[in-house]
Structure 1
Amino acid sequence: MNDTITPQRAAARHAALRFLTAGSVDDGKSTLIGRLLYDSRALLTDQVEALRRHSRGSGALDLSLLTDGLEAEREQGITIDVAYRYFATPRRKFIIADAPGHEQYTRNMVTAAAGSHAAVVLVDVTKLDLSRRPVTLLPQTRRHALLAHRLGVPHLVFAVNKIDAVPDAGAAYAAVRQALEAFARRAGLEPAGIVPVSALRGDNVTAPLDADWYDGPPLLALLESLPVLQPDGDAPWRLPVQWVARGGDGTGHQPRICWGRLATGTVRPGDAVAVFPSGETARVAQVLHHAGQPLAAGDAGQSVGLVLDRAIDVSRGDWLAAPGALEGRRRFAATLAWLDPEPALVGRRYWLRHGHRWVQGRLVAIEHRLDIDTLEPVEAQHLGVNDLGRVVVETAEPLPLTAFSGSTEGGALIVVDPATHRTSGALLVD
C-alpha cells in the first residue's frame, strides 16, 4: 500500500470541513453545535455572558441559543431556518449548518446538505424503546440519513445523543449502534462513525469518553480526521459560465471574460474550447484569478475567468469545456427529492435550473417511490412532500448532464413550480 502523502491528499486532510447536523425534533442538534463552539473557545466574551444571563442561576447554559437566532425559534424551542456557524481547531477549520429537525422544514435540511462534506445525524436515545430488540429508529432519523446519502454528502456520522440520561449507557449505545448498522446495510451506506455523546454535558464531544464500553474517538476528533473529497482534476475540464464581463488592460482593449467555478479538470492558456450549446470553438488566451491576475492554470474547484482568443457569443448559463467533454441530453432518469406540499405529478411542467441555466422540463414518469420504513421501492402515481423517488424527466432544451455521483455541478438540478415559484424539489441525475 502506498502511504505517500501527495499534495492532493494533504489538502483533503486539512481543508475546511463543511458539515451539517440533522435528525428528529429535539434531538439536541443546536445544543451539540453550541457545545462544539463553547468547548473549542470559539465564542466571544459577550456571547458567553449573554448565555449566563439567560440561564438565570440554573447553572446550565442553554447552548442552543447560539444557533436558534430567529425569534420564532427561541419562542417555540425549535430550529426553523438553517443557521451557519464557524470555528477552528489547531488541526482544521469548520463550517457548521444547523438544519431543522421538523418534517415541515425538510427542504431546509436539503439546502444545508448541498455542498456539505459530512452530515452528523443525531439520534436521541431517550426517545427510543430500548426494551425492544431490535431498536426501532425514528422516521426522521432514517429520512435525514437517506437524504444526506442520496444528496451526495460523502461522510455520514451518527451521534447517539443524551447517553447520560439512560440507566445503562453501554447497553443502550450497543443496542442503538446495532440498529443503525442494520439500517445502514439495508440503505447501502457506510457510516464514517457511530459516536455516543452528551451534547448537554459535553461527554465525548471534544474530550474522550471515560467508559470501558467505548474506545473510539470523540466526535470532534472524528470530524478532524475526515478527508474532504476534491473535485476531479483528471477529467476533461468543464466550466459553467456564471457571468460574462468586460476586462481592461489599461490600453483601451476590453476583452470579454467568462467567469465561473471550474467543475472538473485543469484549464491552461492555449487549450481548445467548445461552447455549449452553440458548439462554437476557440482557444483559451488567458486564465485569470478572481482578483484579475493571470494564472498558469486553473484547477477543479477554483473560480477563474477565461479570456478567449476570438470574440464568440457566450452568455450566463453556457458551458465552456474541452472539445468532446460535453454531450447534451433532453431525456434522463434521476432521483427526485420532493419538497413541495403540492405533489409531483406525471405530465406536469416545471422550471429546472442546471448550473446557471433555466429550462422548462416535464415529468415523464415516476418509476417508483422509496419507502423509508422498508427501504424498498414501491409503485407510485405521485410523490408527496419529503418523498424520494426515481423519475424520468424531459427538457425543452438539451443539457450537458453528468452523473451526480461524479459531479454535483453537472448532475444536480433544482425544480421550481412555475405557478407558485416555490423550490419544489431536487433532481440528482443517475
Structure 2
Amino acid sequence: MSSPTKAVAVTEPDGATEPDGATEPEGADRSSLLQARRVVVKIGSSSLTQGGGALDPEAVTAVADALAARRTAGTQVVLVSSGAIAAGITPLGLPARPRDLATQQAAASVGQGLLMAHYTRAFAAHGLTVAQVLLTADDVVRRGQYKNAQRALERLLALGVVPIINENDAVATDEIRFGDNDRLAALVAHVVQADALVLLTDVDALYDGHPSLPTSRRIAVVASAADLDGVVVTQRGSGVGTGGMTTKVTAAQTATGAGIPTLVAGAARIADALTGADVGTWFRATASRPRTRRLWLAHAAHTRGRLVLDDGAVRAITHGKRSLLAAGVVGVEGAFEAGDPVELVSLTGVVVARGLVAYSSEELPERLGRTSEQLRERFGHGHDREVVHRDDLVVVARRR
C-alpha cells in the first residue's frame, strides 16, 4: 500500500544495513547538530521494547546515556518518547498491543509510570532531572493551551531539566492513532524553537527502494521535495508501535517547512546521530520559521468543520491576504464553536486555507452573504466582526 507522500519503501527489516555507495552531498551540514543550542529527539515504542513487546530497560538506558552526553556538552534536549502502551502490556498480562481504545488507555495508564521510572533512574545516573509532560492534540491547537505548554517547557529547560513528552494516551480518543508522536515531535520542535529535530526509528535511513534490496541506496540528504520524486513509502510499522517511515517523512517535512532541519536515523546509532556523523537521512530546512500561530493552524489543528467560500472570497484570502467576511461565505458544514479551527474550501471542495472561526456553526448560517453594514443593521454594532480574521488564518493552497 503506498502513500501520497513520496518517501521510502519500508518494512521494518531486522538488521537493515546501509548499502555501499551512499554519499552525502556537499553542504548537508549535519555538523550543525554539534553546535545546536536545543534539540528535540523522538523515539518510538519499537525501539524501546524487546521480544514480546515488553519494555527493554537497556534500550531506555542507552537513549538516556546518549542524550545526557549531549546535555553535558551544552545542548538543551527535549525527548518525545513513545512506549507507555508497550510498557503496560506485560504488567497487564496482555499477549500483544491491544487494538481497542479502552484497553490501550488502560495499558497507557499502567505503562506511563513504569516508563518514566526507567527514564528517571537512567538520567539520574548522570545527575540530570527529568520531567513528565503529557500532551494531547488540543495542547498544540488551542492558542491558550499552546502558550501554556510553551511557557512550561521553556521554564523546565531554563532549570536544567530534561522534559520527556508523550501523547496523553490514557485520556486521548482519536489522538491514539498511526504516527501521532512523530507529528507531535515536529510540533514540539517548533514550540520550543529547536535548532534541530532527530527522529529515531528501526530503519537506519530513508532508502530509494526497499531497504532489503541490494540495489537500494540510502538517501543521505533531502534538500527539497523534488529529492523524493519517484520514491515510495508503505505505511507498515512494527507490531508494538503505531508509526512507520511514512510518518517520519511527514514529520520531517512539517519541521523543515518551519525552518527546522531534521535527521531520520536508526535508534541504534543515536550517539552518532547526535554528534553529526554521516548516518541516517538529513532533511534540510526548506523555509524560514513561521509565526507560531501559522504552524499550528497548518499542521496541528483538528478541524471541526468547513466553510464554503465563493470565488471572490477565495481570491481575497489566498492572494489578497484579507480576512474572511460573511459576505463571501456560502455554506457551513459540521458543528463547531467560536474559536474552533475550520477548513475554508472553494465551491469545488478544494481546501484553500485553515482558520479560527469567530462564530459557532449555529450563529453563522443567518449571517451568510451579508455585508458588514447589513450585519450591523440586523444584529447591532459589535456583531459585524470578520468570520475568520487574517491573523487567525493560514493559506494551504493557492487558487489562480
- Greater relative contact order: 1 or 2 (C-alpha under 8 angstroms, separation 6 or more)? 2
What TM-score, normalized to structure 2?
0.28
The structure with the greater share of residues assigned to strand is 1
The structure with the greater share of residues assigned to helix is 2
Larger radius of gyration: 1
